[in-house]
Structure 1
């Protein structure tokens, strides 16, 4: 698999790296880290990162404007994206000569011409690091290590999640050995704006927890607007509910657009990705997401999440 990926990387002069919508540190860290690795290995090639710029994560890296014409006969590498609907691209990727998918989510949509998918990894950033060990001419610099380490810390929630393994810590240690400021990265991951802090207070004050240990908060559009959040900031509050010791699984529902509800599903032990898939979403066993179009669907999903605890 990696030999095939190496051949395509060497073949194309233009490489465009994409990731999923509503990016998290792993999506941008993998994207920017891979771009840095390839640019340092092949300085003559044109390497781009494309997608919506998210100011709250610009400490990891910035996106570039890539014209539709640039995609023609290019190599597109999509990182950290489980299905094509989530790709942060208006369809320009269809003009590419080759699409490679690199992802650590369950392989529900092998949309690439080459698909390297392994859901045993804690993050896509880990997979990008493996590329540098297995593919000739690819190396880790301090600059690329900073991005990849940010992705690992983000997707493991600073090594809290169950996917964290000995291998995860080994890769993180090798990245840290380059001399990156790991304390600075952790502080970036941990810090929040005053608006997010006030939203967390609202959540704790209005949170519902069932007898089975299912926690939920629904933030309707008129309420969400009062907090004046920047794009991506609501993701900071998702882990909050899980810190409560009586909570087994939980959801955060946010309505940014009328009757379009984004639902983040999380769990400490019981797999919840089946619930997300039932409603058209997906993700990891303990961390998934979905969009639904009505409160009736929200209530139905809440019922299923509560039932999971009662059966286990």
Structure 2
């Protein structure tokens, strides 16, 4: 699989690296790291990273703007993206000559011409690192190591979740060996703005916990607007409810547009991605997401999550 991916990378002069909507450190870290490695190996190629810029993650890297025509005869590599409809793109990527999918979520949508999927990896960043182990063509710079370490720390929630393995820790150690500032990365991942801190206080004061151990909070549009959050900042509060000892699984539901709810589902032990898939979403067994369009669906989803614990 890796050999086939490298052959396509050799073949195309234009390579465009995409990722999922509402990006996290793993998505952007994988993008920027892969781009950095390819630029160093192939300085003559045109290599782009695209998607909506998220200021809260600018410390990892910024996106580029390209025209739809750039995709003609290009190679597209989509990282950390489980299904095609979650690609952060206006659809121009479909003009590409070839599409490669590199992902660590369950392979429910093999949308690529080549699909390298390993759902045993803690993160897509972990997979990108293995490319450097399997070929001499791609070398690890401090820049790419910094981005990959950020991705691993982000997706494992600082090595707390169940996807963290011996392999994950060995890769993290090898990345640290390059001399990157791992304390700086940890601080970036952990810090929050004052408005996020106030939102956390609101959640702790208003969340509900069922008898089965489901914790959930519904933040309606008018309430959310009072916190004046920057794009991406609501993701900072998602792990909070899981720190409560009698919570087994939890949901953070936020309404950014009227009757359009973003639902983050998390669990400590029971698989919840089946619930996300039932409502049109997906993800990992212990971390998934979905958008729903009504309070009726929200209530049904809460019941399904509660039922899992019983």
Q: TM-score of the superposition, structure 1-length normalised?
A: 0.99
Match of 1:191 in 2: 191
SS of residue paired to 2:102:
strand
1:145-184 to structure 2, matched below 5 A, reads 145-184=145-184
State the alpha-carbon separation in 2 of the partners of residues 137 and 276 from structure 1: 39
Query: Following TM superposition, where does structure 1 have runs of at least 4 consecutive aligned residues deviating by more than 3 angstroms?
Result: none
1:230-241 to structure 2, matched below 5 A, reads 230-241=230-241
CA drift of 1:137 comes to 1.1
List per-residue Cα deviations over 1:57-101 (Å, max 9, x = no partner).
000000001111111100000000000000000011111111000
Match of 1:277 in 2: 277
**Long gaps (5+) in structure 1:** none
List per-residue Cα deviations over 1:113-135 (Å, max 9, x = no partner).
00000100000000000011112
CA drift of 1:136 comes to 3.0
State the alpha-carbon separation in 2 of the partners of residues 80 and 246 from structure 1: 31
Match of 1:131 in 2: 131
Match of 1:291 in 2: 291
Are 1:41 and 2:41 an aligned pair? yes
Match of 2:19 in 1: 19
Match of 1:79 in 2: 79
State the alpha-carbon separation in 2 of the partners of residues 209 and 278 from structure 1: 23
Q: TM-score of the superposition, structure 2-length normalised?
A: 1.00
Match of 1:94 in 2: 94
How many residues align? The count is: 310
State the alpha-carbon separation in 1 of the partners of residues 147 and 155 from structure 2: 13
Match of 2:108 in 1: 108
CA RMSD after TM alignment: 0.5
State the alpha-carbon separation in 2 of the partners of residues 304 and 191 from structure 1: 33
Are 1:219 and 2:219 an aligned pair? yes
Are 1:301 and 2:305 an aligned pair? no
**Long gaps (5+) in structure 2:** none
State the alpha-carbon separation in 2 of the partners of residues 170 and 136 from structure 1: 20
List per-residue Cα deviations over 1:131-178 (Å, max 9, x = no partner).
111123101010100000000000000000000000000000111100
State the alpha-carbon separation in 2 of the partners of residues 249 and 207 from structure 1: 13
SS of residue paired to 1:200:
helix
List per-residue Cα deviations over 1:246-304 (Å, max 9, x = no partner).
10000000000000000000000000000001111000000000000000000000001
List per-residue Cα deviations over 1:231-259 (Å, max 9, x = no partner).
00000000000000010000000000000
State the alpha-carbon separation in 1 of the partners of residues 98 and 275 from structure 2: 33
